[in-house]
Amino acid sequence: MARIVLFLSVVVGLFSPAALAAESKTLLVFGDSLSAGYGMTLRQAWPNLLQNRLGNNWRVVNASQSGETTAGGLTRLGATLKQHKPTIVLLELGANDGLRGLPVDAARKNLAAMIEQSQAIGARVALIGVQLPPNFGGPYTTKFAAMYGELARQYKLPPPPFLLEGIADKPALFQADQLHPIPAAQPQLLDNIWPALQQLQVPS
């Protein structure tokens, strides 16, 4: 009887929620308000839709913060990586650097450091690109947009998707500030980044 009880205890332990969670892989979303669910509930934001699409084999951790710059992200990424030990890191940062007119070279340096930190722990990385309105000036916006592709080639990452592809020219899909997409646009944001995830061997 004691052996039977021990056997059942082991079986129950193997299939407990804690054990199943331990077997799941972690995908870290590390971004700004475009990923943090600004102006909506977290359940409506695209990272939660990603969790629903991936199912129980993956645990999506959304460590995004509204207002985050690449410099701010760099200061907290190390502790976040240590805490969650992600298999995949999605970096969605830079928009606030651009909106504040911060130097593109500094943003690039910060993103490069975050890519290197993530790859150093064995994580696969994808950059999620953002673009600035044309009123920020041609040279600046061109250099800013090119930054993501250049980093992707340098570090052998998937081609960076434009997060707002397909909605950037549709004012009705944005909140009153015309910066943050509404909940109805979140599935499109997820579809925009999905090809990059598949290149990182995330199953469909």
Residue with tokens 């960076």: 160
Residue with tokens 């690039």: 108
Burial code of 156-189, b = ≥16 C-beta within 10 A, e = fewer? ebbebbebbeebeeeeebbeeeeebbebebbebb
Burial class (CB in 10 A: 0-12, 13-18, 19+), 196: buried
Q: Determine the Cα–Cα distance for residues 31 and 64; give it in Å rounded to an integer.
A: 4
Catalytic residues: 33, 177, 180
Rg (CA), the chain: 19
- Could you tell me the two tokens for 93? 């940062």
Burial code of 54-81, b = ≥16 C-beta within 10 A, e = fewer? beeebbbbbbbbeebbbbbbbeebeebb
Could you tell me which of 126, 51, 63, 130 has the C-alpha nearest to residue 91? 126
3-state secondary structure of 29: strand
